[in-house]
A = this chain, B = another copy of it.
């Protein structure tokens, strides 16, 4: 057991931190101003984002997220994790380093499972940050946390596949730079449960795609990235766009989600650290009923427990990253599930208490606390609700013991 980062990691942390200090924090207000200047038409890219991407790429702070691959910076999950935490303090900053969802997950899928043609056409522009992508899995009509419920059909007709269905939470579709979707759907409902699904690449301009609307999250539109509802109406793509092969969509989905969860959790931890700092500063600046707020014992308790929760969540996430690196994503599935439950819960509690510390200011946009809350709340649902992850963890515990005979009734 060693509870400090390696010199290599510490060096990367220093570089990312320096970039944050020089380019990201000073431009938080720039980005807000550029977004505000767009007025009602918010699905545009604020220029500062592309400017900063060039700077990050020039410094080699680029594609840091890809483990076991020559395409990225060659960092392990454990090495990348603290970098994601640093980025998480400014949510939009991960895009600057070409490390933002859902592109990261999509790139990973293409690195692992994409054909050479697919990699050439989609992966490389993504790696260069020239285009963006989306992942279409969740459906409004069914409980998508049980992947067997998915209804979108992906049916082969000659050299093509024809896709019909309705998806939502299709994050990034509204970004004008988004050029390709990975769509998951059912190719054969008569196959064994885990062989029914297929994943396929669909260019964003394919006829039959209809973007119905954007979805708000607690009133926030998350522009310019955003989340869309999309109808796929007889969308036809070449058969070669299938990833890995028909019926292997579930297998890809399993492989896809581990690293993304680490990233989400580490970013949440960074975001929450920032919130805790803001909270402490607020408490130390305000007085009521004869003393500063931070001198009141109820806040001592809350701050003490917040620190406990953050440190625990960070250690758990780093441990999961370590396990992914050493025993693989599949063997580490319980660890991945654990952080997916723990980190958003931790963040929600601490941000909620921050809101209480800030009073009325906590629910305005002034300190972004309500936006952070919305993000954290979303992550108890996105990539699977807590209930499904707890189920995964529990099943691993149960499996340590002898199986039970089926009940007679």
Contacts and interface: CB of A to CB of B under 8 A. Distances in A.
Interface residues of A, number: 107
Kindly list the 10 A-B residue pairs having the minimum CB-CB distance in the complex, ordered from nearest.
A219-B219, A304-B390, A146-B288, A315-B315, A312-B312, A304-B393, A219-B220, A2-B2, A303-B394, A143-B288
A338 B311 contact: yes
Nearest to A407: B287
Contact of A3 (B1, B386, B407): B1
A254 interface: no
A316 B305 CA distance: 13
A99 interface: no
B308 A319 contact: no
Interface string A374-389: 1001101110011101
Interface string A331-359: 00011011001100000000010011001
Contacts of A169: 360
Interface string A287-303: 11111111011111101
A215 B143 CA distance: 35
A103 B164 CA distance: 52
Contacts of A362: 381
Interface stretch (A155-163, A174-182, A233-241, A396-404): A396-404
A363 interface: yes
Contacts of A142: 286
A314 B228 CA distance: 39
A69 interface: no
Given A298-B298, A307-B393, A311-B338, A149 B288 contact: yes
State the main secondary structure of chain A at its contact with B: helix
B145 A407 contact: no
Interface string A125-141: 00000000000001010
9 contacts: A1-B2, A3-B323, A39-B40, A215-B364, A218-B370, A219-B220, A277-B401, A296-B296, A311-B319
A51 interface: no
Interface in A308-329: 308, 311-313, 315-316, 318-319, 322-323, 326
A49 B143 CA distance: 37
Contact of A377 (B1, B9, B363): B363
B338 A360 contact: no
A6 interface: yes
Contacts of A118: none
Contacts of A381: 355-356, 359-360, 362-363
Nearest to A146: B288
Contacts of A318: 1, 3
A163 to B, nearest CB: 20
Interface string A93-127: 00000000000000000000000000000000000
Given A301-B394, A308-B338, 19 more contacts: A40-B40, A143-B359, A216-B364, A217-B364, A219-B220, A281-B401, A284-B402, A285-B404, A297-B297, A301-B390, A301-B391, A304-B341, A304-B392, A305-B341, A305-B390, A308-B341, A311-B316, A315-B316, A370-B374
A33 interface: no
Contacts of A78: 1
Contacts of A308: 316, 338, 341-342, 393
B219 A216 contact: yes
Contacts of A298: 296-298, 300-301, 387
Contacts of A396: 307
Contacts of A365: 215-216, 219
